[in-house]
Structure 1
Amino acid sequence: MQNSESAGLEQELRVRKLEISDKGKGFIELLQQLGVCDSVSDNEFQNRFLELSSLGDDHVICVMEDELCRRIIATGSVLIEKKFLRNCGKVGHIEDVVVDSSARGKQLGKKVIQFLTDHARSMGCYKVILDCSLENKVFYEKCGFKHSSVQMAMYFA
């Protein structure tokens, strides 16, 4: 019975691209666990969704939906930067990875990272990079990332 329950759990959780209906499945509330994300109206969400959709595969937001309770429990995004370096190469930038606090420790973050890195690879990127906190360094190392440089930031009011 345990094996069939485990198989059922796998079927209930899948990684896919963000859909417009995901706002109603807790997408914004999930992002609030990551950082500042005030309420977003349905109109604002629709406008941003359409804007990002117009970028095609150069900006992909993925989500993991628990299909039993119809809630978004993990997300992440990858932006494809087109460069002149490396013979007009491409670099994938992973951003905004978060797993719902109630679902952490179940390898869901790894599945999101795999989806995003697979997408970057399929787009012809020669590398994928991300910034993370020191607390998350070990997680990303387990996903195959290596410490490479120092992040710097300048915030605007």
Structure 2
Amino acid sequence: MSDYDKGFVRLLCQLTLCPSLSKPQFQACFADLATLGDNHYVGVIEDPISGCILASGSVLIERKFIRGGGKVGHIEDVVVDKAARRIQLGQRIVDHLVHYAKTVGCYKVILDCKPDLREFYKKCGFVESNVQMALYF
């Protein structure tokens, strides 16, 4: 069963507004992201009984000219199914993404979050730093 069939897109729609994505569109996107190799990693936690995806997050690896050509991990799209919250799946997926970033040699991991999620990420070991700015199209 593919991640599409396991409810990956449905789960992402709990994070943000997302237009429907057909299975062929999902497969094309997956193939495109796969070309990034170790620079784009998506972690998931599946329900051991149903096989459905309960939590997901991704980390993008950015190579820098500073820090001797070091790498920075950008955590994105962390989401836990509404029916599976409050059982530490969010912390488990974030810990997994941080571990991955360390494994590929990142010197830091950063993320942007909504103000109401600050405490959650502090519990995951993050500290507030800088200000996020956005320009939407």
Whether the TM-score (by the shorter chain) exceeds 0.5 is yes
Partner of 2:44: 63
1:82 Cα shift? Answer: 0.3
Counterpart of 2:54, as a letter, is: I
Partner of 1:8: none
Please identify runs of 4+ aligned residues in structure 1 that moved more than 6 A: none
Partner of 2:71: 90
The SS at the match of 1:87 is coil
Q: Summarize deviations over 1:66-88 as a string: whole Å, max 9, x none.
A: 02011101000000000101110
Partner of 1:39: 20
Name the TM-score, length of structure 1 as normaliser: 0.85
Cα distance in 1 between the residues matched to 2:48 and 2:36: 27
Cα distance in 1 between the residues matched to 2:19 and 2:7: 13
Counterpart of 1:115, as a letter, is: H
1:80 partnered with 2:61: yes
Name the count of aligned residue pairs: 137
Name the TM-score, length of structure 2 as normaliser: 0.98
Among 88, 92, 111, the alignment partner of 1:130 is 111
Instruction: Please identify the structure whose Cα radius of gyration is greater.
Output: 1
Task: State percent identity of aligned pairs.
Answer: 55
1:53 Cα shift? Answer: 1.0
Q: Which runs of 5+ in 2 are unaligned?
A: none
Partner of 1:115: 96
Cα distance in 1 between the residues matched to 2:95 and 2:37: 19
What value does the CA root-mean-square deviation take over the aligned residues? 0.9
Q: Which runs of 5+ in 1 are unaligned?
A: 1-19
- Structure that is richer in helix per residue: 1
